[in-house]
Structure 1
């Protein structure tokens, strides 16, 4: 069983992913972690990124300068597409490699921040689970955990699918608003017992 897990920045998607592992014994494939590994010092994508974008987008230790690339991508869609053309095939190959490590009867959860936006994930999955919350909550959570300004967080949200678009693509939605961690985990446990995860 292949489940796609997605949600906007600050929605609590990663917390739900960990709950699926802890409570349901899921095998987690985190596409964001794969992307970070590809763009860290010595990452497989770094030679192509340096060649395409130049040394100004590489940190002194050899990683992708994420702040510089984020700024460029927001203002130049062609740059964003060029970066995706480098990363997406590598992410896809590593995603499949990691998925094959799951046990035969194990639930495989693909944590994909841009699942709805990519347009190519739905046919690879049997179900899609969306973690949702109010936009004001997203902004507050991201500001609390990062050095990003409110304007920067709003810009990221504007680049992502809308809440309505994600909910429309969902087989199930966890509304992570105004609940504590124990309640969120209880919702995940309830879903694991329900029809969403049955073949």
Structure 2
């Protein structure tokens, strides 16, 4: 299953709830961090492309400095994506290959729509919430509004996400309400898996 949603939509809360139920989560954001961890070829390539200013004194990636560069410059973002996306794809494929055949695997991927990947999943789930609510959540987490708006501008809009969604989860209410939707989704996924086993 592909799980996506715009920044601040609550996708992480959905992913966490699915993990509690027993789903195997392959988190694209975590993989993106892993492939540029200290000592990796990915980090060396990013430093070569963007300079030592994107590294912290300890040699790790300064994500904030890199973010300021790439979110404001489409060409720079394209260079970064050209470095890390192939690394992420390879690691994603490896992790999918390591899962048991009857596992319910959730690919938590923010840029599913932007990357044109919707056709590669049995089910696409989109988490949505109103823009203003998302901005408030992001500000509460310490992301300045202007930076949050810039990141939203670089993501697909709600209409584009809904167009590829098999399931839309509404996260405009309470966490309990979101969990209830996720629990219903989980029951459906289990039923589909059981039906597939029976054929």
**TM-score of the superposed pair, with normalisation by structure 1:** 0.91
Q: What SS does the aligned partner of 1:183 have?
A: helix
Partners of 1:197 and 1:109 lie apart in 2 by 16
Which stretch has the larger CA shift, 182-191 or 132-141? Answer: 182-191
Say which of 159, 163, 179 aligns to 1:168: 163
Match of 2:125 in 1: 129
**TM-score of the superposed pair, with normalisation by structure 2:** 0.91
Q: Pick closer, same or farther for the CA change 1:52–1:109 going to 2, 3 Å.
A: same
Q: What SS does the aligned partner of 1:103 have?
A: coil
Partners of 2:176 and 2:64 lie apart in 1 by 34
Contact 1:7 1:166 in 2 (8 A): yes
Contact 2:72 2:150 in 1 (8 A): no
Contact 1:48 1:86 in 2 (8 A): yes
* Runs of 4+, deviation exceeding 6 Å: none
Shift of 1:183: 2.2
Instruction: Please give the residue correspondences for 1:32-71 in structure 2 after superposition, counting only pairs within 5 Å.
Output: 32-71=29-68
Q: What SS does the aligned partner of 2:113 have?
A: helix
Count of paired positions: 193
**Residue 4, structure 1, aligned to residue 2, structure 2:** yes
Shift of 1:197: 6.5
Contact 1:5 1:13 in 2 (8 A): yes
Match of 1:141 in 2: 137
Partners of 1:38 and 1:86 lie apart in 2 by 10
**Unmatched segments (≥5 aa) in structure 1:** none
Match of 2:187 in 1: 193
Instruction: Please give the residue correspondences for 1:86-105 in structure 2 after superposition, counting only pairs within 5 Å.
Output: 86-105=83-102
